[in-house]
Amino acid sequence: MPKNNHPVVILVQPQMGENIGAVARAMGNFGLSELRLAAPRDGWPNPKAVEMAAGAESIITNATIYPDFMAAMHDVHLAYATTARPRDMEKRVVEPRTAMAEITGHSASGNKVALVFGPERTGLANEDITLCDTLITIPTSEENRSLNIAQSAVLIGYEWLCAQSDVMQVTRELPDIAPQEEWHGLFSQLEGYLDAADYFRVVHKKQVMWQNLQNMLLRSRLSAQEVRTFRGMLRALWERRLGEKS
């Protein structure tokens, strides 16, 4: 597998330079190299991140900064998020070992995969979770479930490295999955049509309904061409509706 197609690590609104450095150190330990920071709270560069990186300073130096999570996901085909599942949202949930085996296959087939971590105190917002295909849950003791971001990065990095020993067993071609920027275009178009058609009649229910619709469509894992075809179909239906009303 080409090194440049290893999964990228995205930290969404990370709050402390020390934690960013600790994640970079874990990445270096287990063969991950591309770090993306979406709206870091304390700005960038952050000298405390370099201090904590301990041998992985190049990962900090080469980290790319984005204004928000959507921008950091621009070329990503699949995103796996380490976060608790929201009660009002249906999302696929797997343990780290299963996730890394899947990601190894997707990466070998040319798909860009992201490992996503939310803010240390609050975790990912529902709007960010909606953009992710799968959630990773790390089994912990009932007496103490809490893991910090660095611990999570170590565990997931370890499972990633272990999964590489099985990479030669991946022989089947996995589908060409549309990157997030294609989905963003579809969702913007579809939401506009639904708003104009007064689909979300109960205003306070719109957010949950819209998130569920996005999750439903993302589970289909359409290719870029299929997304464009779907958008063309929606546009034709909408133009036909406008023609009938005129």
Question: Tell me: the pLDDT tens digits for 57-96?
Answer: 999 999 999 999 999 999 999 999 998 766 678 889 999 9
**Nearest of 99, 91, 92 to residue 211 by alpha carbon:** 91
For residue 197, which phi and psi values (nearest 5 degrees)? -85, 5
Radius of gyration over every alpha carbon of the chain, rounded to an integer in angstroms: 19
Instruction: Identify whether the C-beta of residue 44 lies closer than 8 Å to the C-beta of residue 66.
Output: no
Token pair 């969702």 in the structure block, residue: 187
- CATH number of the domain bearing residue 71: 3.40.1280.10
Question: Tell me: the pLDDT tens digits for 152-179?
Answer: 999 999 999 999 876 544 444 556 788 8
**What is the pTM for the complete model shown?**
0.76
Q: CB under 8 Å to 205, separation ≥6 — which residues? A: none
- Structural domain contains residue 213: yes
Asked which of 8-12, 220-224, 227-231 is least confident by mean pLDDT, the reply is 220-224
Q: How far apart are CA 102 and CA 108, in angstroms?
A: 10
* Domain end among 169, 197, 226: 169
pLDDT for 146 beyond 70: yes
Q: How far apart are CA 28 and CA 33, in angstroms?
A: 6
Q: How far apart are CA 118 and CA 126, in angstroms?
A: 11
Question: Tell me: the pLDDT tens digits for 7-29?
Answer: 999 999 999 999 999 999 999 99
Tokens of 10: 């995205």
Angle at 228 between CA 173 and CA 243, to 5 degrees: 155
> Within this chain, do residues 16 and 109 fall inside the same structural domain, yes or no?
yes
- Structural domain contains residue 175: no
Question: Tell me: the pLDDT tens digits for 93-134?
Answer: 999 999 999 999 999 889 999 999 999 888 899 999 999 999
- Structural domain contains residue 11: yes
pLDDT, averaged across the chain: 89
* Domain end among 169, 202, 234: 169
Boundaries of domain holding 129: 3-169
> Within this chain, do residues 164 and 185 fall inside the same structural domain, yes or no?
no
What does the pLDDT read at residue 109?
A: 87
For residue 175, which phi and psi values (nearest 5 degrees)? -65, 155
Average pLDDT over residues 34-49: 96
What does the pLDDT read at residue 243?
A: 78
